[in-house]
Amino acid sequence: MTKITLRILKYSLFLLLLFSVIETASAAEITVGDGQEYTNITTAIANANNSDTIIVSDGTYTENIVVNKSVTIRSENGPDSTIVQAKSVDAHIFNVTASNVTISGFNVTGATNYTAIYMLSASNGNISNNEISENYCGINLARTNNTILTNNTVSSNEYGIYLWESINGTLQNNVMTSDNNNFGVSGSDLEHFLHDIDNSNLVDSKILYYLVNETGTQELPDSGQVYVINSVDVTIKDISVSNGYDGIAFAYTNNSRIENVTASGSDAGIYLFRSHSNIVDNNHASENYYGVYIEESDDNTLTSNEIISSTADGLILDLSNRSIVDNNTINASGDDGINIDGSRDNTISNNILNSNVDDGIDLDYSESNTVSNNIVNSSEDNGIDLGYSGNNTLRSNIILDNLGSGISLYQSGNNDLISNTATNNILHGIYLNISTYNTLIDNNASENSQNGIYLYNSSDYNTLNDNVASENDCGIYLSSSNNNSLTENTANNNPNVEIGSIDPKGIVSPNEFSRNYGNGIYLENSNDNTLDSNTAKYNRYNGIYLYESSNNDLDDNSANYHNQYGIFLQSSSNHNTLNGNTANGNELGIYLYSSVNNRLISNTASSNSQNYDMTSINPDLVVYPTAMATYPCGIGLLYSDNNTLTDNIANDNDLYGIYTYYADKNTLTGNTANTNSQAGIVIRSSKNNTLANNIASYSTGNYEMLRSIELNAVINRDAISATSYGIVFSGSANSTSTGDRSIGNDYEFHSEFSNNITVDKVILNDKSAQVSFVTDERLIQLNGTETNPYSLSGKANVNGYITMSTESIAPDIALSFPDNIITKFSYSDSGMSSSGESSIALYRLNNSSWVKVSDTTLNTNGNYVSANLTEFGTFGLFKDPEPESSGDGSSLMARIRSEGTITDIPVGNDGEVTGDTVVKSSDSTSTLTLYKGTKAVDPNGDPVNKIIVTTPASLPADTPREVVESGLYFDFGPDGTTFSQDVMITLDFNPEEFEGRSPVIYTYTSEDGWIALETTVDWENGRATAMINHFSLYALFGADAEEVQDTSVELASEDISSPAVVEEDTPAEDDDSSGYFLGIIGIVIILGAVIIFVKNQKDKEGL
């Protein structure tokens, strides 16, 4: 070794000894106390260096100490005589932020809002031999490493010893007593749970078991708390634990079991953290903050547990998936019974949840869970609540007597609610708020205090099918919700509570529209929904009610027996389509108020009455006074424009079938309004409406008495007989009535105070008597009859009689007759000869005589007589009788025929023939066969259910004579009937009479004359057959029939007389032979003419 090397070694050793002496000299002891260096610990720490020891003398020190240096702080004589109490309850007593700190031998007390000894992010700490009491937390290690706790007594704190995200702690011989939560460990990684905690630690005089890396069944006698860390196949059973941060906790423990454990008084009775495939069975957890808390743990099974009186949730699955929660009883939780938070694919079934303070079952931010067959009662909020949750299935749950809603969805979509019972809840049975694309099927949401099913605030694209929502305040209520589909739901007997007692939008007085109460189905500010095949009846107000709701489709719904309206569209409920609905037995069947551009198609609104006795159907129903005064009718439009009513039925209503009031530009087509008490169709104070092909017949009652009351007329009411009307225009203008049918009323048509009402071919009797004119301010009434007691000699009536009058019910509403009114009286020319038609004239009945009306024009092309009437009365069209057929002395006699037969045909509600049907004439010479499924309609589009077969009184002029004489001609009616498919006509004939000729069935049209039909002939049976698709005049021709002269042929309606024989003058004898020669020449000319005629006839089709 060289000298240099030795010298370096000597200096190094000297420096090492020097630093050792300096360090030893710096590790000083500092005393605190009366007469000592410092009087308080805080000052001592401020003046201490790292590694110093601060010795505290006996006494009481009131301070909050920050330990930010690596020092040892110990009492001189132990905790019995050295007390450190909090100067401020809102700060830690020892707040340790430095590593290598020892605190020993103190009585630490009084930090009621904070911790006695708190270590944060410190290492190698040592806390020993302390007595710690009456603090919020005794010892709290937060993110510490390698800390040792020994021989501490921690009592009467909220939390005793608590380790949070700390690593490798050591606990020995610590005693935790009477703390609300004696001991607890939590963290976010496995290393936060890997501590050395032996069985020498006690909680309430029982052993704190802290098991790490264990397996198998554990025998744990005298257990106070149990932690199982990073273990597999462990079984904990048959123990009681209490007053811990966790009663029993599994962390990173799998395939293990907790059985028959009683856990009480802890922050969590049973806690699983990142522990999978465990079974928690038959345990009792009571009076814990959380009964059972499952966090970030999957595939666990929780069965047959009883969880009672938890301060917060009874059972919570937090970010935990694919678990089964089955057959548990969870009662009296301070928050939710079961809380599923951020979890998916769990099954919650067969649980009983009673009297939980918040929701029975609550799903937040959770997906694809199944909640089924649970019983949820008496929750102080909702029975089952979904918030921000989707694709869940709620099936067959029973949810009763909850203070909120039975089932509530908030911002939740694509959930299926199937076969749940949600009844007797204080708010709603099922409530959707900002929730879309949900499906509600076969749920019972009845007897709830407010709504059965309530969709609110953009709850769109939901499907409601086959649900029952009865005996609620409102059955089904949609508010600001669009594009929903409601199908085959039932919303009956929703009677309402006292008006205004629950309305969240404000009190509604009985005199106002009570929009929120007593409705079967209610849509408010809700668009593009579909209501299909729902049933709503016995509700206090309305069956189906749309308020400010548009573009909805209502199809095949039943809305019957309500105190107000069957279907009610109010306040800009526009562009809706009502198709095939039934609204019977209400005060008003279908009612549109201030709503436009709606379409009503094939609805039935019948038997609606202001005095309809609904209690006879439902004795328990309370009938309330009407909230809005309207006229009872089938369909009512008030302040509603541009609506279309097509093919609706409004029969047997208390006042009117169809009623409009200040309703303009509406179109009524093909509707039926029969047997209503006052009038069929009433258009009042309405403009620019179009009526076409409607039927308003057989009204009964006293419309005039009602009008006298409306007009304050001074009348002798005892003198007014019952008066009814078919179609009424009152105070209306610029409207049309085209092809409407009104028969069997006291007056078929009534107009008053109405300008420019175009009446076009309105049908007023069964013989299709039609009239056309334009109204003005006058009172005009029309009546149609088929017969009249006074005949017109030498004339035949064309189509019955029309009475036009201005009769008034009281002097104060009498109207004068203006100068004139241009009127058209229309007729049908079917079967009428041109000569007969040309003789038609209009007559007016003057007392008992018919007087021809002057200033008339016959239009045979338009089939009407126009007249400039200067007075009203009873009018009829008459014509000349058709002439009898001319004869030529032939021995062939016309057959005796009956007037005709009328045969009923079996048809269904849709007008189709229900089975193959054969109709015969009275002499069975003609036969008509209609096949099943055939639909016959008259020119007005109305189904035909009677077939009339007659022998016409006259035939067209170009009818062959032998056809006239044969009697083989038939008129089938009603005139203008058409068929949806061909029917078969058969005419029987005598083959001998057609020898050498081919029978052909012809039909007649006014445009083309006689037209041959494709005919099949059965010579053996004497029968000719053809297929037809409409009714007309039919006859059997022979192929070589002679052409007849151009004259009309009149036949008697009874027996047909023999043809008249024309007498010829006898020529004088001519002695001149030139007479014979001229005769020969005449014969030759005649024979030539005959040959040419026969040749031409053979060239014609069918002859």
Token duo for residue 1002:
């012809």
How many CB atoms neighbour CB 101 within 10 A? 24
The Cα–Cα gap between 339 and 358 comes to 10
β-bridge pairing 936-937 and 978-988: antiparallel
Residue 811, pLDDT > 50, answer no
The Cα–Cα gap between 533 and 488 comes to 4
pTM across the whole model: 0.70
Max CA pair span of the chain? 200
Burial (0-12, 13-18, 19+ Cβ within 10 Å), 829: middle
Residue 770, pLDDT > 50, answer yes
Q: Is there a common fold for 22-179 and 434-506+514-673?
A: yes
Q: Mapping DSSP to helix (H, G, I), strand (E, B) and coil, where does residue 1074 land?
A: helix
Over residues 823-833, the pLDDT tens digits come to 999 998 887 87
Higher pLDDT, 24 or 993: 993
Of 412-426, 552-566, 798-812, 848-862, which range is least confident?
798-812
Higher pLDDT, 63 or 989: 63
Residue 347, pLDDT > 60, answer yes
Residue 866, pLDDT > 50, answer yes
Of 423-432, 491-500, 684-693, 1017-1026, which range is least confident?
491-500
The string of DSSP codes covering 320-349 is --S-EEES-EEE--SS-SEEEES-BS-EEE
Residue 500, pLDDT > 70, answer no
- Average pLDDT rounded to a whole number, residues 825-845: 87
Of 119-133, 158-172, 838-852, which range is least confident?
838-852
Residue 443, pLDDT > 60, answer yes
Residue 493, pLDDT > 90, answer no
Higher pLDDT, 918 or 1028: 1028
Q: Which of 953, 968, 952, 956 is nearest to 1047 (CA)?
A: 956
What is the structure's pLDDT at 618? 39
Fold of the 725-879 domain: Chondroitinase Ac; Chain A, domain 3 (2.60.220)
- Average pLDDT rounded to a whole number, residues 609-623: 42
Q: 44 near 50, Cβ under 8 Å?
A: no
User: Using omega within 30 degrees of 0 as the cis cutoff, is the peptide bond preceding 974 cis?
Assistant: yes
Over residues 448-478, the pLDDT tens digits come to 999 999 999 999 999 999 999 989 888 889 8
Average pLDDT over the chain, rounded to whole? 84
Q: Which residue has the tokens 């010829």?
A: 1064
Higher pLDDT, 148 or 624: 148
How many CB atoms neighbour CB 402 within 10 A? 29
CATH architecture of the region 900-1050 = Sandwich (2.60)
Q: 1025 near 1018, Cβ under 8 Å?
A: yes
Of 40-54, 236-250, 577-591, which range is least confident?
577-591
Higher pLDDT, 129 or 566: 129
Maximum average pLDDT range among 356-360, 504-508, 962-966, 988-992:
356-360
Q: Which of 969, 947, 1089 is nearest to 1031 (CA)?
A: 947
Higher pLDDT, 503 or 1094: 1094
- Alpha helix stretches (DSSP H) within 27-121: 41-46
- Which are the contacts of 929, defined by CB distance < 8 A and separation ≥ 6? 916, 917, 918, 919, 983, 984, 985, 986
Burial (0-12, 13-18, 19+ Cβ within 10 Å), 488: middle
- Average pLDDT rounded to a whole number, residues 807-831: 66
What is the structure's pLDDT at 555? 93
Over residues 311-343, the pLDDT tens digits come to 999 999 999 999 999 999 999 999 999 999 999
Residue 220, pLDDT > 50, answer yes
Query: Three-state secondary structure along 650-690?
Result: CCCCCCEEEEEECCCCCEEECCECCCCCCEEEEEECCECCE
Q: Which residue has the tokens 């009008």?
A: 707
**Residue 581 carries which side chain, given as an amino acid letter?**
N
Residue 714, pLDDT > 50, answer no
What is the structure's pLDDT at 819? 59
What is the structure's pLDDT at 343? 98
CA-CA-CA-CA dihedral for 522, 528, 531, 532, to nearest 10: 180
What is the structure's pLDDT at 946? 74
Confidence of residue 705 (pLDDT cuts 50, 70, 90): very low
Confidence of residue 496 (pLDDT cuts 50, 70, 90): very low
Confidence of residue 393 (pLDDT cuts 50, 70, 90): very high
Residue 1062, pLDDT > 50, answer no
- Average pLDDT rounded to a whole number, residues 808-830: 66
**434-506+514-673 in CATH: which number?**
2.160.20.10
- Average pLDDT rounded to a whole number, residues 415-435: 97
- Average pLDDT rounded to a whole number, residues 982-989: 88
Task: Output phi, psi for 23, to 5 deg.
Answer: -65, -45
The Cα–Cα gap between 1090 and 350 comes to 104
Burial (0-12, 13-18, 19+ Cβ within 10 Å), 1083: exposed
For 111-238, list the strands marked E by DSSP. Answer: 115-120, 126-128, 131-133, 137-142, 148-150, 153-155, 159-164, 170-172, 175-177, 181-186, 196-197, 202-203, 206-212, 215-217, 223-229, 232-237
The share of the chain scoring above pLDDT 90, in percent, equals: 58
- Which are the contacts of 185, defined by CB distance < 8 A and separation ≥ 6? 162, 163, 164, 192, 193, 195, 227, 245, 249, 251
β-bridge pairing 1033-1037 and 1000-1005: antiparallel
What is the structure's pLDDT at 1055? 35
Half-sphere exposure of 706 (CA within 13 A, CB side): 17
Confidence of residue 144 (pLDDT cuts 50, 70, 90): very high
For the chain, what are the domain ranges?
22-179, 434-506+514-673, 725-879, 900-1050
**Residue 514 carries which side chain, given as an amino acid letter?**
S
What is the structure's pLDDT at 370? 99
- Across the strands, what pairs with 194? none
The Cα–Cα gap between 422 and 428 comes to 8
What is the structure's pLDDT at 970? 76
What is the structure's pLDDT at 927? 84
- Average pLDDT rounded to a whole number, residues 201-205: 98
Higher pLDDT, 628 or 583: 583
What is the structure's pLDDT at 677? 86
At residue 238's C-alpha, the angle toward residues 237 and 242, to 5°, is 95
β-bridge pairing 900-904 and 126-128: unpaired
Of 111-115, 420-424, 434-438, 944-948, which range is least confident?
944-948
Confidence of residue 123 (pLDDT cuts 50, 70, 90): very high
What is the structure's pLDDT at 973? 75
Q: Fill in the DSSP letter of residue 615.
A: G
The Cα–Cα gap between 72 and 127 comes to 10
For 267-374, list the strands marked E by DSSP. Answer: 268-273, 279-281, 284-286, 290-295, 301-303, 306-308, 315-318, 324-326, 329-331, 338-341, 347-349, 352-354, 361-364, 370-372
What is the structure's pLDDT at 886? 40
The Cα–Cα gap between 593 and 612 comes to 22
Using only C-alpha atoms, the chain has a radius of gyration, in whole angstroms, of 51
Token duo for residue 187:
């963290």
Confidence of residue 902 (pLDDT cuts 50, 70, 90): low
- Average pLDDT rounded to a whole number, residues 966-988: 82
Residue 979, pLDDT > 70, answer yes
What is the structure's pLDDT at 630? 53
Fold of the 22-179 domain: Pectate Lyase C-like (2.160.20)
Residue 296, pLDDT > 90, answer yes
